Amino acid sequence: MKLELRGITKRFGALIANNNISLTVESGEIHALLGENGAGKSTLMNVLYGLYRAEEGEILLDDKVQKFAGPGDAMNAGIGMVHQHFMLVPVFTVAENVVLGHEQTTFGGRLDLSAARAKVREISDRFNFDIDPDARIEDLPVGVQQRVEIIKALSQDAKVLVFDEPTAVLTPQETDELMVIMRQLAETGTSIVFITHKLREVRAVADRITVIRLGAVVGEASPTATNAELASLMVGRAVELTVHKDAPDLRGTALSVKNLTVVDALDQIVVNNVSFDVQAGEVLAIAGVQGNGQTELTQALIGLQHRVTGSIELDGKQLRGYSVRHILDSGVGFIPEDRTEDGLIADFSIAENLMLDRSSGAPFVKAGNLQLGFRAEFAAEKIEEFDIRSQGSDMDAGRLSGGNQQKVVLARELSRGLRLFVAAQPTRGLDVGSIEFVHTRIIETRDSGIPVIVISTELDEVVALADRIAVMYRGEIVGIVPGTTPRATLGLMMAGESAPATEAAL
């Protein structure tokens, strides 16, 4: 089915989220929608899916103008959406999830699951998905869950499939498999809109690329365009995807983690006997697919986990078993992976957020009183230094863009005297410009002789920053390899295969 968007304009108050966007997706074409976060991609797709009503413009399917009052209309017209966060019920089976919302019943109101199973099998066979209709969603790996989402859309006879940032949760291998599936779908005539901000994927799979910036189409590109060309289209200037960094100036072991084990509230061992050292002046990246214990490892380092055994020694002093306050006071700087939940208080001003983890002593507090004058000066200084784009230090942090929010967290953590810097997913969801800023700052921190741990699920980021890479899988470190290790090897390690040859070298 041919999808055409003509002159879509969507406003939120004074802001134009989509400005006169026109887009044509031919039948059987994979059309990549590339743009930074906040460029207006998701808004556009929500308009297409009937979630928002556009002020101007029209949606055409096979040259017929459509009017969508809601997602139901869009689905009926043949538009399917594969959301970034899966809309699946974990305790239901595949078949049950697929019919959810479109249940067919037999006599007496009983659910006709056999028809659903047959449908799942049929679609699954058509694309070699290899999915058991009776498997429970929670037992399936993420990549397979995503395929269930695809089946769900296809079972509603979707002719246009929208993939909203589909690779964010996948391993490199799963990503490659998804690319194959997208190709297959396109060959059977399904039109695909592929929303992403990852350049490599776009070039690998897209037939055509439309770049959106600040709500408007800024250009079209072919898949043969280079990363640099696409990136500069996205941000409007040339960006470096790899950070300039010199060889590390190693100054001896600063952090030494030995036999660290973390047990979670469900009595599961989430970090299993992990040991590693970090030298002053180097970046150790902890890579791995999300959910393999990195989060808990980070939390254990900062004192947020309670059931921890083993040892965490920073400059010879034991940190395990101490409070978060003590660990922060020992000079550990921390960027939490969930910036909006753990890193910031949305209803606090920038200035208040900048003093958040120093709320109990000098220089922000004297004799129990907040030093408002000092705080304002400090905030003004940091806003300048870290280029936090805001309407002043009294602006609520929740109203900042993701990149600027992260700069607030970064400014707060880096303005303490640090002896260790732990950054978990420091650039998740950020635009290219902010990523560059954060990366530069991290390398500067390293070069000032501070040991740095970067936890990231983004291979690009790991490769760009790391001097050494520790790969985690199922709570264990599969291996610690040099930063120059090829992606393919890292990908295999992220899937649990050890790399003995390189492991021995370090």
Out of 264, 277, 315, 458, the only residue in the binding site for another protein (CB under 8 A) is: 264
Quick check: 142 binds another protein (CB under 8 A)? Answer: yes
CB-based contact 485:469 (threshold 8 Å): yes
479 binds another protein (CB under 8 A): no
- Residue from 3, 284, 355, 388 in contact with another protein (CB under 8 A): 355
Counting contacts by CB under 8 A, is residue 247 touching another protein? no
> The tokens 């697929």 sit on which residue?
98
Positions in 77-106 near another protein (CB under 8 A): 90
| Residue 352 binds another protein, judged by CB under 8 A | yes
Select from 205, 287, 350, 400 the one that contacts another protein (CB under 8 A).
400
- CB proximity list for 424: less than 8 A, separation 6 or greater: 294, 295, 298, 334, 335, 336, 337, 455
Rounded-to-integer distance, Cα 408 and Cα 378, Å: 12
Residues 421-450 that bind another protein (CB under 8 A): none
Of residues 158 and 383, the one with the C-beta less far from another protein: 383
Are 420 and 251 in contact by the 8 Å Cβ rule? The answer is: no
Q: Give yes or no for a contact between 253 and 278, defined as CB atoms under 8 angstroms apart.
A: yes
Question: What tokens were used for 484?
Answer: 């120059």
Identified binder of another protein from the candidate list 80, 475, 479, 483, rule CB under 8 A: 475
Q: Does 501 bind another protein (CB under 8 A)?
A: no
Which is it for strands 56-61 and 64-66: parallel, antiparallel or unpaired? antiparallel
Among 191, 305, 427, 434, binds another protein (CB under 8 A): 305
How many residues bind to another protein according to rule CB under 8 A? 91
Is residue 503 involved in binding another protein (CB under 8 A)? no
4 to 33, contacts with another protein by CB under 8 A? 12-17, 19
Answer for the pair 398, 423: CB distance below 8 angstroms, yes or no: no
Q: Which residues of 392-414 are buried (b: 16+ CB within 10 A; e: fewer)?
A: ebebbbeebbbbbbbbbbbbbbb
Identify whether the C-beta of residue 388 lies closer than 8 Å to the C-beta of residue 408: yes
Q: Any contact of residue 70 with another protein (CB under 8 A)?
A: no
Element housing 124 (H / E):
helix 113-126
Binding of residue 356 to another protein (CB under 8 A)? yes
Q: How far is the CB of 416 from another protein (least distance, A)?
A: 11
How far CA 3 is from CA of 73, 90, 143, 185, 285, in Å, comes to 15, 32, 27, 16, 43
CA–CA distance, 175 with 87 (Å, rounded to integer): 19
- Collapsing DSSP to helix, strand or coil, 442 comes out as helix
220 is a contact residue toward another protein (CB under 8 A): no
Contact between 389 and another protein per CB under 8 A: yes
| Amino acid letter for position 23 | L
Among positions 72, 189, 236, 482, the unique one binding another protein when judged by CB under 8 A: 236
376 binds another protein (CB under 8 A): no
Q: In this chain, which of 64, 69, 110, 369 binds another protein, going by CB under 8 A?
A: 369
Interactions with another protein, residue window 186-215 (CB under 8 A): 213-215
For position 225 contacting another protein by CB under 8 A, the verdict is no
Question: Which segment (24-32, 240-248, 276-284, 319-327) binds another protein by CB under 8 A?
Answer: 319-327
Q: Looking at 66-74, 279-287, 312-320, 395-403, which segment touches another protein (CB under 8 A)? A: 395-403
Distance of CA 415 to the CA centre of its chain: 26
Choice from 111, 243, 304, 380 touching another protein (CB under 8 A) = 304
Smallest gap, in angstroms, from Cβ of residue 419 to another protein? 15
